[in-house]
Structure 1
Amino acid sequence: MDESINRLSNIIKSSRDIVFFGGAGVSTESNIPDFRSENGLYRTASGGEYPPETMLSRSFFDAHTLEFYEFYREKILYPDAKPNKAHYALAQMERNGNLKAIVTQNIDGLHQAAGSRNVIELHGSVLRNYCTSCKAFYDLDYIISSSSTVPMCSACRGLIKPDVVLYEEALDETVIEDAVSAIAQADTLIVGGTSLVVYPAAGLLRYFKGSSLVLINKSSTQYDSRASLVIKDSIGSVLSKAVFSK
């Protein structure tokens, strides 16, 4: 493992345009469950009237809004979560000048909380919420404070929707363009905490034309054979050692 950490550290130090592409595994070390692992949401939240995939769909939001919000507040929102070693290492890489962008599938805002600035959020953020009628903005506290009801706009009484991409909704085209542009320009792409099975997000890797593809994930992915370096370990530990080691 020390050899792999040293190789990663050298790749980071010699790269000028790094992009990090991350998934739910980045936030599990902040005690936010992922979706598909043994202890993930899709397994632990099963057994109810509706499966989690249904309850996180746009049609369910429209037809069963109160039930959506009850599930959303209980299973998706983690307001007390804090950034972990991975988030802080990536923020330091950005301050060092060689990490140009983070492309994340996560919606928790922890990259920004750790200090990262150029974060491309493919699936939106729980920190942003908008009235579906007048587009007024509401923060996460407003959603949490209306704990037993459907949150409504204080200005026009319109329905408030989280700025997250639900099932049956398309990713924002501008966000996709920003992610493609960043990945296409990168000389190094570090992929961490994702099984690379969720599309269209996972398909973004095909735009990478740089020299070093690094995969940090506890399980194997379909891209392992194409990678310059594969590390199967805790992403927080790996990045922290590679970035902060002397």
Structure 2
Amino acid sequence: MNKKEKLKDIIKSSSNIVFFGGAGVSTESNIPDFRSEKGLYEAKNNYSYPPEIMLSHTFFIKNTEDFYDFYKNKMIYKDANPNAAHYALAKLEEMGKLKAVITQNIDGLHQKAGSTKVLELHGSVHRNYCIECKEFYDLNYILNTKEEVPRCEECSGVVKPDVVLYEEPLKNDVINQAIYYIENADVLIVGGTSLVVYPAANLIHYYKGKKLILINKSSTSYDGNAYLIINESIGEVLGEIVKEL
């Protein structure tokens, strides 16, 4: 039995699967990741600061205009569409097999594909709030404002994306929900992540089961703990399997 057949059998026999995903899930929708050869951190950018600095809380506060210039040009992919992995996961939820998607991505593609239980560890570009009065604004407001820095229509305060920047903590309620689903999962599928981004990667330690599945094009530091490792395209793997269920 090959690895895909083995994974198909595991999925067939379980109704308590949790998926934990990273940037590699969205690269197949032509959204660049961070650390690969063509990723955001490696690609040449016409900016005076590295991405890690420009995506920090301090930089947002002190250089808000420069932050938004970088953010709008490099972090938002409004026209991106879900790929086979997103649709496969939504289908598994519809079939009653997948209990939750836990994602490090901020693009909202899981919801666009039809997933309803999505825990966004790092927030979403689709949610934005005034830092003064907390008024909500959608992505179109951020993209269509004529000002360099989006401002609140109610109080003129600066509008901030609901994304977790460097120096900011993850939201406790999202973390607690993620821990709950991982602790109680029968099968944990981890895909499209090298598991080097902390504290998110630490969540894997809460898994108590024996069926840790890793689907990633490259190896990870958790390979020694995995029940099954598939070093292939996550969209191709999940898409093919779900079609056969």
Alignment of 1:156-175 (within 5 A): 156-175=155-174
Counterpart position of 2:89: 90
Q: Give, in whole Å, the separation in 2 of the partners of 1:98 and 1:52.
A: 38
Letter matched to residue 61 of structure 2: D
**1:48 Cα shift?**
3.1
Alignment of 1:25-44 (within 5 A): 25-44=24-43
Alignment of 1:99-114 (within 5 A): 99-114=98-113
Counterpart position of 1:216: 215
TM-score, reference length from structure 1: 0.97
Letter matched to residue 20 of structure 1: F
**1:47 Cα shift?**
6.2
Counterpart position of 1:135: 134
Counterpart position of 2:183: 184
Letter matched to residue 120 of structure 1: L
Residues 150 and 94 of structure 1, relative CA distance in 2, 3 Å threshold: same
Contact 1:122–1:175, Cα closer than 8 Å, also in 2: yes
Count of residue pairs brought into register by the alignment? 245
Counterpart position of 1:48: 47
**1:148 Cα shift?**
5.0
Which is further off, 39-48 or 80-89?
A: 39-48
Counterpart position of 2:120: 121
> Secondary structure in 1 aligned to 2:20?
strand
> Secondary structure in 1 aligned to 2:11?
helix
Are positions 1:227 and 2:223 aligned together? no
Q: Give, in whole Å, the separation in 2 of the partners of 1:243 and 1:171.
A: 32
Q: Give, in whole Å, the separation in 2 of the partners of 1:49 and 1:69.
A: 14
- What percent of counterpart residues are identical? 61
TM-score, reference length from structure 2: 0.98
Letter matched to residue 160 of structure 2: K
Contact 1:45–1:52, Cα closer than 8 Å, also in 2: no
Q: Deviations over 1:132-177 (max 9, x none)?
A: 1111100000000025510000111011000000000000011100
**1:16 Cα shift?**
1.8
> Secondary structure in 1 aligned to 2:12?
helix
> Secondary structure in 2 aligned to 1:87?
helix
Counterpart position of 1:20: 19
**1:236 Cα shift?**
0.1
5+ residue gaps, structure 2, are none
Counterpart position of 1:75: 74
